[in-house]
Chains A and B, each alone.
Chain A
Amino acid sequence: MEARGLTKHFRVGGLFSRRYLHAVDDVDLTIYPREIVALVGESGSGKSTVARLLAKVYQPTRGEILYRGQPVTSLRGRQTRDYRTRVQMVFQDPYSSLNPVYPAAHGLLRALTLHRRLRGGKRRKEAEQVLGSVGLQPADEFLRKYPYELSGGQRQRYGFAQALACGPEVILADEPVSMLDVSIRIGILNLMDDLRRREGLSFLYITHDIASARYIADRIMVMYAGQVVETGPVEDVLAHPRHPYTQLLLSAVPDPLAPEIDESQIDLGEPPRVVDPGEGCRFRWRCPHRISECDSVSPRLRIVRPDHQIACHVDIPDWVQPHVQARGVDEPDPGVLPADATFSEP
């Protein structure tokens, strides 16, 4: 799957308003088979809009989406339905994405009927198999349950089961773990990784949690104010972040072992202006490295390391995370148990 110059503007204000909110501007994105791409950014940075554009919920203002080399915008009728079968979404809130008046399997069974043309015993068998693959066992019991009988983690597994039932190749997961409790988040992340390995699926994983992105993703894209500001292999970007916004994000990840920070220097975390932003870098008001060029010219993505691109005019020296150095990269995180004391699935 590929997107080129993807742009979405929303009109804001009254009926005749000419002010446009630039939700997504000129985003290029590629997802290869069996790849997990993480899209990271703060709330309002346009990451959910990207997912909705890819899922054909919104029409892009400009730019095109290619699926296996074919432009998606030109699809008609049957082809559109076929595309929707192949590209599925999983949503953030597992509490509102299941219909409370039907058994939780309702959506799953409908997906099998509509997208796979299965009925009766065959459909049931397939449903049980899908539930098994997302870890909802015994499957026949889970087929009967209503949403209120499920925990948050189980609901989110249902969300994945519903998406899987269609037989997709790409799943767009929009913050699938942010509403879940800390102790079960990792289970959902492991599930995504499993599905990639076993079923060969690709994922676009949208999140604001960089640590979880690092945990499962191959590549990472950092978005700010509707634009991609840094992209590359996840380990390379996290070890050598070159865009000041990525550096800010990384330094803000809560970690009890991070060094003391100068509290007067802390960025307030105010969101950027995205209504008619005009030319110039959108991060310039918060940027510690601002130069005059930033006010007048929007930076384009450029390569700084192999496969690693940033959209910034300034060459910031390679940033070394202070306490990674202090602790030594190979030492295990002291907060984590040794590997032999594991929690096994019951």
Chain B
Amino acid sequence: MDVTSPILEVKNLTVEYSAETNSVLAVDRVSLQLGRHEFLGLVGESGCGKSTLCFALAQLLSPPADVIDGEVVFNGRNLIHMRDTALRHIRWRELSVVMQSAMNALNPVLNIGAQMTDAMQAHERISKKMARARGGELLRMVGIDPIHLDSFPHQLSGGMRQRAMVAMALVFTPELIIMDEPTSALDVVAQRSLMAQIKALQREFGFAVIFVTHDMSLVGRFSDRLAIMYAGQIVEQAATRDLFRDPKHPYSRGLLQAFPSIYGPKQKLQGIPGRPPDLRFPPGGCRFHPRCPAVMDICRKEEPGEYAPGGDDLVRCFLYAREEVEHSKLHTVR
């Protein structure tokens, strides 16, 4: 396997929830690249399609949702329409998923050890004894005393359950882990400790991570790159530091401006007026235009393409389509 090639390449991925009237494009022509060992933060508000995107990447969509266009190339193989038997060898062994509210995904009537053994035996021939030993080792790695192999989920705190889920995802040391808001049910202290743990494990094992969250400040510390999603589309992609220093898309700017800080002088904030669109009736032109402070005529009529004003970054906004906009316009938003 080529080490320099990206581990995951998503091209033009489009997912539709079909309905008799008004089908919804929850993921609309999303393209992404993820390098090996890379930590990508996928940020967006509820209903922007970020969870649907995760499901599509792991090929876990069920009707009425379906991929209607695009490719998901993982380690050189296109996962879209791959047969279940073939997917089985990839899932969990090479690509694992930690779901949202994963702490409630544990089976309440089986102890942690039994659940881990179960997963291992489903994907690999391994003796119970071996599986248990490995389970204990994994728990220790995520900071849980292996004594809890015999504990039931209700005996663990929320933070410990989330850690246990991360341990389960690590069973076969996969090359990519997709995490869908794994920390959203935890308070700040537990949240930080889980993030640091994930980062440390990533350094040790070198897997790539797609970390989905609605809280940009959370991934700011840990991710290499950020992708901001709005109404089914990725509106901006850039290196984390660059995006925080110089957010380009008006939506990214709004998000960064939307939460108060405990540092620096107090300032009055406005948030972003309005609300995300109903995807059954997406606004014409740019999807952000009804809420955008820098809206121009063209935004109402045409859909912006992806522009790369800085080279490595991608922005879906007419402000950065140089030919079409005179420079002064750009300065009014800056």
Contacts and interface: CB of A to CB of B under 8 A. Distances in A.
A43 B188 CA distance: 10
B264 interface: yes
Given A183-B258, A186-B269, A269-B159, A263 B263 contact: no
Interface string B312-326: 000000000000000
Contacts of B244: 256-257, 334-335
Interface residues of A, number: 62
Nearest to A42: B187
Contacts of A152: 46
Interface stretch (B25-33, B52-60, B248-256): B248-256
B218 interface: yes
> Which among B158, B188, B199, B253 has the greatest number of chain A C-beta atoms within 10 A?
B188
B126 interface: no
Contact of A211 (B245, B262, B272, B334): B262
B254 A183 contact: yes
Interface string A132-169: 00000000000000000001111000000000000000
Contacts of B199: 263
A268 B45 contact: no
A183 B216 CA distance: 11
Nearest to A184: B271
Contact of A182 (B216, B220, B221): B216
A208 B188 contact: yes
A324 interface: yes
Contact of B214 (A181, A323, A335): A181
B22 interface: no
Nearest to B184: A178
B63 interface: no
A183 B159 contact: no
Interface stretch (A7-15, A246-254, A289-297): A246-254
A298 interface: no
Given A182-B258, A337-B253, A254 B266 contact: no
A261 B196 CA distance: 9
B273 A345 contact: yes
Interface string B283-327: 000000010010000000000000000000000000000000000
A255 B273 contact: no
Contact of B192 (A189, A214, A266, A345): A266
Nearest to A248: B189
A346 B274 contact: yes
A39 B264 CA distance: 22
Nearest to B195: A254
A255 B215 CA distance: 11
Nearest to B230: A183
From DSSP, what is the main secondary structure of chain A's interface residues? loop
Nearest to B274: A346
Contact of A183 (B45, B193, B197, B245): B45
Given A183-B272, A214-B260, A269 B189 contact: yes
A214 B218 CA distance: 18
Interface stretch (A51-59, A71-79, A107-115, A325-333): A325-333
Contacts of B221: 254-256, 258
A160 to B, nearest CB: 16
A253 B192 CA distance: 8
Contact of B191 (A214, A248, A254, A261): A254
B275 A184 contact: yes
Contact of A323 (B45, B215, B257, B263): B263
B262 A269 contact: no
Contacts of B5: none
A252 B192 contact: yes
Nearest to B262: A211
B279 interface: no
Highest count of chain B CB atoms <10 Å: which of A154, A256, A338: A256
B243 to A, nearest CB: 9
A196 B334 CA distance: 33
Contacts of A271: 157
B218 A324 contact: no
A336 interface: yes
B240 interface: yes
A332 B266 CA distance: 9
A255 B259 CA distance: 11
Interface of B: 45-46, 143, 157-160, 186-194, 196-197, 199-200, 214-218, 220-221, 240, 244-245, 253-276, 290, 293, 333-334
13 contacts: A182-B255, A183-B255, A184-B275, A208-B187, A210-B188, A211-B261, A211-B262, A248-B189, A252-B192, A255-B221, A263-B199, A266-B193, A346-B274
Enumerate the 5 nearest inter-chain pairs by beta-carbon distance, A residue then B residue, closest first.
Answer: A256-B220, A269-B190, A186-B271, A215-B260, A269-B189
Given A215-B269, A263-B197, A268-B159, 12 more contacts: A186-B259, A214-B266, A215-B266, A253-B188, A254-B192, A256-B220, A327-B263, A337-B256, A337-B257, A343-B271, A343-B293, A346-B274
Interface of A: 42-43, 151-154, 181-187, 189-190, 208-212, 214-215, 238, 248-250, 252-258, 261, 263, 266-271, 321, 323-324, 327, 329-339, 341-346
